[in-house]
Amino acid sequence: MKLNFCTFLFLFLISFSAQSNVVVDMTTSTCTSWSAGRIDCFARGIDGGLWHKWFDGRGWFGWENLGGQLTSAPNCVSWGPLRIDCFAKGVNGSMWHKWYDGRGWLGWENLSGNLTSNISCTSWAPGRLDCFVRGTEGSMWHKWFDGGAWFGWENLGGNLTSSPKCTSPGHGKLNCFARGTNGSMWHKWFDGRAWFGWENLGGNLTSVPECVSPAAGKLNCFVRGIEGNMWHKWFDGRAWFGWENLGGHLTSNPECASPGPGKLNCFVRGIEGNMWHKWFDGRAWFGWENLSGGLSSSAECLSPAPGKLNCFVRGNEGAYWHKWFDGRGWFGWEGLGGSL
């Protein structure tokens, strides 16, 4: 996969974002897992529709056209076995919802809103969904499903210059992060009873924050700094620490996953277009490791089972590519087709 116009455009946008007020989000796909070994991936096709490819533990199936008219990357989550909920911005600026209930796909359902960002949804319990977006005035807005009905939109304030990134470190808990107008990372959280923040966590970001919870009550956030390095800030359950400079030379948002308690694996696109890997084994950081490839997007990575990792990217020709770690070594790249 050689450098082409799309790659040069990608590099231009990354360079421009470091000088402008709103960071570029190069996310193109989303993947989720509702059981060990199961993977469901979704992407916006060149026709604007939502396309679905899945792995059942033995082989890949799809692409399946799920329709819709998307103007953002999709965001899909699973709150239990055989359940998937997908969200995207439509041509009217609203958030649209399509879901799989174990028997078939339902929707599209118009959940209204006026979005100016990609969507970040998470689930802290079966039947529970919380979705967050940036609105036209720059605030963060929240819509949630309690298992029976949708509520919101709720204005949570702030002045965002990135898509929000939200995660749940435990039952009833929510933590949201975004880049503010001053370039810092800002934090708003829900403790199960009420919202708190916004809290300024410092830093100088040129990416959407990437935050994961490797254990109950713990949070680890990663961003690209103005010099192109990856920076790390973490919460140990009592206090925030960092920023820690983890080096590298990023031309994408970082993408991180936790394949087990205390473990962290981060993936980025390097200046030559390859995917690079840095990991924490619970005691120390290792890498950067060059995993090759020819990326024209940020990576999308998840851990469908303890010790396993699966990463997906868009190649320079627009197809979907897959690289995976089985607990002992890396395999791929495997071409999964498609036209993203």
Share of the chain above pLDDT 90, in %: 91
Of 69, 194, 85, the residue nearest 145 (C-alpha): 85
Residue 73 has pLDDT above 90, yes or no: yes
Per-residue pLDDT averaged across 322-340, rounded?
Answer: 96
Beta bridge mates, 53? 41
Give the helix/strand (H/E) hosting 52. strand 50-55
- Which pLDDT score, from 0 to 100, does residue 28 have? 81
- Which pLDDT score, from 0 to 100, does residue 17 have? 41
Q: Rounded to an integer, what distance in angstroms lies between the CA atom of residue 254 and that of residue 232?
A: 11
For the chain, give every domain's residue range.
5-335
Confidence of residue 289 (pLDDT cuts 50, 70, 90): very high
In the three-class reduction of DSSP (H, G, I as helix; E, B as strand; rest coil), residue 6 is classed as: helix
Which amino acid, one-letter code, is at 14? I
Asked whether 33 and 302 are in contact (CB, 8 A), the reply is: yes
Out of 18-32, 136-150, 314-328, least confident range? 18-32
Q: Rounded to an integer, what distance in angstroms lies between the CA atom of residue 325 and that of residue 304?
A: 11
Intra-chain end-to-end CA distance of the chain, in Å: 15
Per-residue pLDDT averaged across 268-280, rounded?
Answer: 97
Residue 10 has pLDDT above 70, yes or no: no
* 221-267 tens-digit pLDDT: 999 999 999 999 999 999 999 999 999 999 999 999 999 999 999 99
* 158-190 tens-digit pLDDT: 999 999 999 999 999 999 999 999 999 999 999
> 119-150: b or e for each residue (b if 16 or more CB lie within 10 Å)?
bbbbbbeeebbbbbbbbeebebbbbbbeeeee
- Which pLDDT score, from 0 to 100, does residue 23 have? 62
CATH fourth-level superfamily of 5-335: Fucose-specific lectin (2.120.10.70)
What DSSP character marks residue 192? S
Q: What is the pTM of this model?
A: 0.92
* 85-113 tens-digit pLDDT: 999 999 999 999 999 999 999 999 999 99
Asked whether 64 and 51 are in contact (CB, 8 A), the reply is: yes
Per-residue pLDDT averaged across 121-144, rounded?
Answer: 98
Q: From residue 263, how far is each of 55, 85, 89 by CA, in Å?
A: 24, 27, 33
Of 340, 288, 283, 338, the residue nearest 63 (C-alpha): 338
Residue 12 has pLDDT above 80, yes or no: no
In the three-class reduction of DSSP (H, G, I as helix; E, B as strand; rest coil), residue 95 is classed as: strand
Residue 11 has pLDDT above 50, yes or no: no
Q: Rounded to an integer, what distance in angstroms lies between the CA atom of residue 123 and that of residue 40?
A: 17
